[in-house]
Structures are given as C-alpha cells and as structure tokens.
Homo-oligomer: A and B are copies of this chain.
C-alpha cells in the first residue's frame, strides 16, 4: 500500500538557523521559506534527490507543532510521510485493522495541497506517520 517516503519532517525553533545548518554544514539544496498559515507552519524543503526533509517552524497561535517544541525546545524529528495512491482506500484498510486516524478520521488537504491523514503514533511505535495521496506516483 505505502509507496515512496515523501518526506521526513523536523520541527525547529529557528527556521533560519536550521536552514543555514543544512545548507552550509551539510551542503544540501534548500528552498526559500514558505509560510503556510492555514497549516500553522513555515516550511523549508531540503532536497535530497530521492526524497526530502521538511524543516518546520511554528506559525501563528495554534501551530500543530507548538506543543512538540514545548517538549523538545531544540527541535526534533516530528513525523514521516509515505505516499499512497488512494487515501480513502488506505483509511478504510487501516481503520478496519484497528489503527486510529487522528482528528475526525477523514482525510484533509495537507501542506502540499493533496489529501493527507495522520496515524496515531501509539499504533506505530511512537512514530507519527502521515499518508499523502499522490495519484501520479
């Protein structure tokens, strides 16, 4: 069911400083920061060729990563995202097997403009897993 590892997301308290480390210390290709107020984050994409790292900084009062950074002030690995061809089929399969989808259980439009869902980290060894529908994959 799952396809490519689309990205790993890392929450950071200072996006400019984190971006500089990936660009200058690790020599990585990094994007300009993109503010996504409807998702409560500003993001920089680190292109690894086969996949990407997304550096996330909180944006606004209700950022979904604010509590994570309260608990991990230096930042840390926040979630991983796998691509799926059919998010509704994926949701049905997971729920029927007893896995929990965060929120109301229905896919939402994610930060890339595509349908996404998040699985409960307690069902996957403490790892927050995002599934993103990528129909052209």
Contacts and interface: CB of A to CB of B under 8 A. Distances in A.
Contact of A25 (B11, B25, B94): B94
B2 A5 contact: no
A3 interface: yes
Contacts of A2: 26-28, 48
Interface residues of A, number: 43
A74 B126 contact: yes
A8 B12 CA distance: 18
B51 A51 contact: yes
30 contacts: A1-B26, A1-B27, A2-B26, A2-B27, A3-B49, A4-B50, A4-B51, A5-B5, A5-B8, A8-B8, A8-B77, A8-B80, A12-B125, A21-B123, A21-B124, A25-B123, A26-B82, A26-B94, A26-B129, A50-B51, A53-B80, A74-B122, A74-B125, A74-B126, A75-B125, A75-B127, A76-B126, A76-B127, A77-B126, A77-B127
